[in-house]
Amino acid sequence: MTLSNIHQKIPKRYILGLLAFFGFFNAYMLRSNLSIAIISMVKPTRHITSNNNISIIQSGGYTWNTKTQGYILSAFFYSYTATQIPAGFLATTYGGKFLFGGSVGLCALLTLFTPLFAYMGPTALIILRILEGFSSGFIYPSLHAMWSKWAPKDDKSKLATFAFSGSYFGTLITMFFGGIIAAHWTWQWIFYLSGLSGILWAICWFYLASESPSTHPTISEEEAAYIEENLYHPVSRNYSIPWKDILTSLPVWAIIAAHFGTNWCIYVMFTELPTFLSRSLGYRVDEAGVLSAIPWLPLAILVYVAGIISDRLTQQHSTGYVRKLIMSISFIVISLALLFVTLLDANHRALIIIGIIIAIGSCGPAWASFGVNHLDIGAHYAGILMGLSNCVGSTPGFLIPILTGYVVEDTHLKREWNIIFIISILICILVLMFYTFFASGELQPWATANTDEYQHVLNTPIASRDVSQGTGLNENNIDDLTDRLKAEIQHENNTE
């Protein structure tokens, strides 16, 4: 069997999932590279005199204090957060293929200039990171807009969470090899390698990905029909986005709260874990990089595993019940693990690492819950909902580094880091309560407006290229749909 034949037999929605996986993989390499590189960029160098054994600390890089480092690390998320809602609108209106690929590709290109901008000073580096955040802001909403066209009900959680898991594999690789690269080469290569990888992926994406099954050149008729029969289709050409209904919907705000709480726990470790391990627990930069990478492996695995389990559970229980169950288990374990880490002193390094691994890994099932919930309640508006929730959900990306810069004045003291862990526990408790009370798994009324009259036509498969071969279409329902569309156009012309 040739490679071409194998490619033809693989369902195209799974190929899209694989491309999306590596898209998130590269996006998070580009996002996390500074977290590990900054240790070497501002790393102090210790010299031990041979006579009296006195340590003298001299700067081995840039002389940025903890507050400056906090602003640099958080700069990415200023513009990233601001672009989420416009990104959701653009993805819903114009499609997600070019936004998703262009977002990662442009960020990769900008990343190549990081060493130059760092040399120019912290202000220049902050500006560059703001530009990178702006270019990355379209990633989640654009892919959710594509999944609303590609992911049938029974594969929805599995496809979305497999793609999400790529982000944590990307973080794992960056943390693991970033410390080694910084220790044995130079920190500049962290940015060069991640930037080149992102550009290569973008070229592959634009060549292989399609906006929807109907535009894919080689998809089989059977797969196209299966996808189309298991999707919700808004028909009206001139539908409007129900902003008021969305913004006043408690299930939407439950997703937003869950997104914020999960990202808070993730970003505490995402931005600060290498520094915590290096400064507070005393690991070398290469050791800190390897140890920082370990927790992202169970997170990446659990995101996908929880997605598969969720798909199976929703065949036996209501979607809302499954989302709340997975979310509750996830946040309870996160809270207990962070409490465990808080109660230990810095001498118990191995136990602290275990607690951190459990805390980060347990964020995976949460993403498999609220991260797919947009598709449950919003269908075609999933891109809008993801943009909205990721807008609020990304604020920890800039709040945590700034907060840490003020709270943790001496990064060598674990008791100051405990304050950050306690805040995280309280946020988890409040978020879980809100999500449990107000989350839903049902398609909301505002997501089904003005389309009921077409559902009997849409319930028939229309993906076949030959309408004469068992597609479920016949002259009667084609004429019926045509008459209704003509009536709609006539109504619009009369109202103008």
Residues 148 and 254 in one domain: no
Number of domains the chain is built from: 2
Taken in order 120, 123, 125, 130, the sign of the CA dihedral is negative
Q: Specify if 473 maps to a domain.
A: no
Q: Specify if 459 maps to a domain.
A: no
Residues 36 and 182 in one domain: yes
Q: Specify if 354 maps to a domain.
A: yes
Taken in order 462, 467, 471, 473, the sign of the CA dihedral is positive
Largest Cα–Cα distance in the chain?
98
For 65, counting Cβ atoms within 10 Å of its Cβ (0-12 exposed, 13-18 middle, 19+ buried), the class is exposed
Residues 79 and 188 in one domain: yes
Q: Specify if 487 maps to a domain.
A: no
Q: Tokens 């505490």 label which residue?
A: 268
pLDDT at 6: 55
Residues 262 and 396 in one domain: yes
Residues 364 and 428 in one domain: yes
3-class DSSP state for residue 59? strand
pTM of this structure: 0.71
pLDDT at 400: 87
Expressed as residue numbers, the domain containing 173 is 10-44+62-212
Of 420, 438, 453, the domain-final residue: 453
Give tens-digit pLDDT for 5-51.
Answer: 555 678 888 898 999 999 999 999 998 888 888 878 885 544 444 44
Residue 131 contacts residue 108 (beta carbons within 8 Å):
no
Q: Any idea what the CATH number is for the domain that residue 397 is in?
A: 1.20.1250.20
Range list of H helices, 348-474? 349-361, 363-378, 382-393, 396-407, 414-438, 455-458
Residues 268 and 360 in one domain: yes
Residues 177 and 256 in one domain: no
Distance CA 40, CA 456 (A): 62
Q: Specify if 227 maps to a domain.
A: no
Residues 191 and 285 in one domain: no
Residues 298 and 384 in one domain: yes
Q: Specify if 5 maps to a domain.
A: no
Buried b (16+ CB within 10 A) or exposed e, 223-251: bbbbbbbebbbbbeeeeeebeeebeebeb
Tens of pLDDT along the chain (496 residues) come to: 455 555 567 888 889 899 999 999 999 999 888 888 887 888 554 444 444 444 434 445 778 887 888 888 888 888 888 888 888 888 878 888 999 999 999 999 999 999 999 889 899 999 999 999 999 988 988 887 888 788 787 777 788 888 888 888 898 888 888 878 887 888 889 999 999 999 999 999 999 888 888 888 888 888 888 887 776 654 444 457 788 999 999 999 999 999 999 999 988 887 778 788 888 887 887 787 778 888 888 888 888 888 888 888 888 898 899 999 999 999 999 999 999 999 998 888 899 999 999 999 999 899 888 888 888 888 778 878 888 898 898 898 888 888 888 888 777 888 888 999 999 999 999 999 999 999 998 888 888 754 443 333 333 333 333 433 334 444 444 444 455 555 555 555 554 5
Distance CA 70, CA 271 (A): 9
pLDDT at 473: 44
Helices (H) and strands (E) in the chain, counts: 23, 2
Distance CA 262, CA 138 (A): 20
353 Cβ contact partners less than 8 Å away, ≥ 6 residues apart = 291, 294
Residue 120 contacts residue 72 (beta carbons within 8 Å):
no
Residue 370 contacts residue 327 (beta carbons within 8 Å):
yes
pLDDT at 134: 92
Beta bridge partners of residue 56, listed in sequence order: 47
> Beta strands 55-59 and 44-48: pairing type?
antiparallel
Q: Specify if 3 maps to a domain.
A: no
pLDDT at 236: 43
Give tens-digit pLDDT for 93-125.
Answer: 888 899 999 999 999 999 999 999 988 989 999
Residues 387 and 278 in one domain: yes
Residue 72 C-alpha from the chain's centroid: 21
Residues 393 and 256 in one domain: yes
Taken in order 409, 415, 419, 425, the sign of the CA dihedral is positive
Q: Specify if 380 maps to a domain.
A: yes
pLDDT at 94: 82
| Closest by CA position to 198, among listed 429, 32, 15 | 32
Residues 330 and 443 in one domain: yes
Distance CA 153, CA 161 (A): 14
